[in-house]
A and B are shown apart, each in its own frame.
Chain A
């Protein structure tokens, strides 16, 4: 249904569970995709699954210079400007607020929020020239509801919503949209680590009665990246099985 033939995309965190699914979905729709993360082996494996429409560009998103370089490397590897930016990379460093160290706070803000801003800044000029662009950032239900032990993560994810609304307002006249996809609990390596008791505590809070899949997040991203979603901007699309209806 959604055709991205001729478009290019940069997906950060493409070595992770959700990023991999997003990269696969975009490339299946016809986009050429630059896969980014820190682990080259894992990125190469995803690129192999996709085939010759994928390229790999490593970067450490906690480092400003590395983020600037990533935008350039991705454009060089794709042979043109980036049409679709997916800010998916994310980390957690959980701790109760009163115990949270400055570096736990800062590292989560750097990777989840600041890198997303920097990449949007670096890619939006080209999108403006081409009069078409999509900036999709992966938030979290926690950015809207809060969660004990995640002051840093909740602040960063809420920050993505504000960033997205500002970008949407600035860039709307140039055919560029910015949106957030906000997952609830999704089956990935992160949630595989939950034990039975933890799962049993989570599931009653989810009306759908199950965790979501990475493909269900990817489908939301694909929609927002499509031509069909051109009039949707500044929004947060919650994909959480009804766990929070907001």
Chain B
């Protein structure tokens, strides 16, 4: 399942244009990686596409860090 973590990090790097080293599990998209609120919406859309899941708004609002995304996707990913 580390594969999921790798894919999440790759998407974050691509979308936010940040260095890979900065994308640690505890990094917050907004506080540490310079995302604005629209970026977080786009990240969620990118996760949905990559992992073939629908992330409902109330779940999306709780995805604040890289780890939050990995945990959610480990539980729900279909692809």
A101 in the interface (beta carbon within 8 A): no
Query: B38-62 interface mask toward A, CB cutoff 8 Å, 1 = contact, 0 = none?
Result: 1001100100000000000000000
The interface size bin for chain B is: under 10
Number of residue pairs A-B, CB distance < 8 angstroms: 12
One of A125, A170, A171 near B45 (C-beta < 8 A): A125
Query: Which residue of B has the minimal Cβ distance to A126?
Result: B45
Residues of A within 8 Å of B45, CB to CB, are 125, 128-129
Q: Is the interface of A mostly helix, strand, loop or mixed?
A: helix
**A173 adjacent to chain B (CB < 8 Å):** yes
Minimum distance in angstroms from A84 CB to a CB of chain B: 20
Complex CA gap A174/B38 in Å reads 9
Binary contact readout A122-145 vs B (1 if CB under 8 angstroms, 0 otherwise):
000100110000000000000000
What 3 pairs across the A-B complex have the smallest Cβ distances? Answer: A128-B42, A125-B45, A129-B45
User: B: which residues have CB within 8 A of A?
Assistant: 38, 41-42, 45
List 4 extra interface pairs beyond A125-B41, A128-B41, A128-B42, CB under 8 A: A128-B38, A128-B45, A170-B38, A173-B38
